[in-house]
Amino acid sequence: MNGNSHLVAAIAVVLMLVTPALAPPAFAADPAILLTFESDEVGKPPQGWISKGGDPAKVYSVRAEEGKRYVRASSERSVVALGYEKAWPLKDFPILQWQWRAVVFPENTDERKKGGADSVLGIYTVFGHWPFMKTIKYIWSDTIPEGETFDSPHAFHTKIIVVRSGRDRAGEWITERRDVLADYARFFKEKRPPVARGIAIMTDSDSTRTRAVGDYADIRTLER
């Protein structure tokens, strides 16, 4: 798959998430996002999410394990993104917390290069309106060291942070926390706290033509 096609598939969900707002959104006192998949049907994609790049049912399905609900992403030489649209004020809820589990890593990856830009796990935060969007993508990389940051090789407005690296903790549920507001300020040099417009998840394996399997659970936004 060429770079332009990969870009459309990987980022198009972000384009779909962002719609013009005629007035500032009203926010509840509770965290704006709390996704535990408890009310979703096992064996099907989660409700309320939108997809781009292919049939979501071929990649994403809700599963249950020891009382825990989660989304299993199983990618076979494919790229399908799954997005959840909901705005929240980053100044009030700057923390994004989620759980993920790496199961099968795509082979020969290097997310800094178009030919290796596959990740077993990835979660985006989306800001702005089309065509002036910005995104931050947090990934679990097989090869790039934890803490490294770089521009996406497919989209200059997408900044990537390696939150976790390597296979030592594959098969284990891990809880991650990121201060998205701090990450946004570092990348985009803006003083005014933005409104986040939604999130997206993506496990892909099209660039390397291999296979990737990963799990996502308990995605939420929190106060600092």
Average pLDDT of 99-119? Answer: 97
User: pLDDT tier at 183 (50, 70, 90 boundaries)?
Assistant: very high
In angstroms, the CA 25 to CA 130 distance is 17
**pLDDT of the residue at 17:** 44
pLDDT beyond 90 at 3? no
Alpha carbon separation from 58 to 25, 44, 183, 191, 216 (Å, rounded) = 34, 9, 33, 41, 16
pLDDT beyond 90 at 29? no
Task: Please tell me which residue, 21 or 205, carries the higher pLDDT value.
Answer: 205
Alpha carbon separation from 120 to 31, 109, 194, 220 (Å, rounded) = 27, 10, 29, 20
- DSSP secondary-structure letter at 95? E
The tally of CA atoms less than 13 A away on the side-chain side of residue 213 is 8
Least confident of 14-28, 62-76, 87-101, 185-199: 14-28
What's the structural domain count of the chain? 1
pTM: 0.89
**pLDDT of the residue at 32:** 80
Tell me, what CATH number does 199's domain have?
2.60.120.260
pLDDT beyond 50 at 119? yes
Tokens read off for 134: 């910005």
In angstroms, the CA 17 to CA 35 distance is 17
Mean pLDDT of the chain: 87
**pLDDT of the residue at 132:** 77
Q: What is the pLDDT of residues 66-105, one digit of tens each?
A: 999 999 999 999 999 999 999 999 999 999 999 999 999 9
133-136, Cβ contacts within 8 angstroms, sequence gap of 24 or more: 133/14, 133/15, 133/18, 133/157, 134/158, 134/159, 134/184, 134/187, 134/188, 134/194, 135/11, 135/14, 135/159, 136/160, 136/161, 136/180, 136/183, 136/184, 136/187
Q: Which domain holds residue 80?
A: 3-222
The rounded Cα 114 to chain-centroid distance in angstroms is: 18
Share of the chain above pLDDT 70, in %: 86
Sign for the pseudo-dihedral over CA of 165, 64, 14, 95: negative
pLDDT beyond 80 at 33? yes
**pLDDT of the residue at 192:** 83
User: pLDDT tier at 30 (50, 70, 90 boundaries)?
Assistant: low
Q: What is the CA radius of gyration of the chain?
A: 16
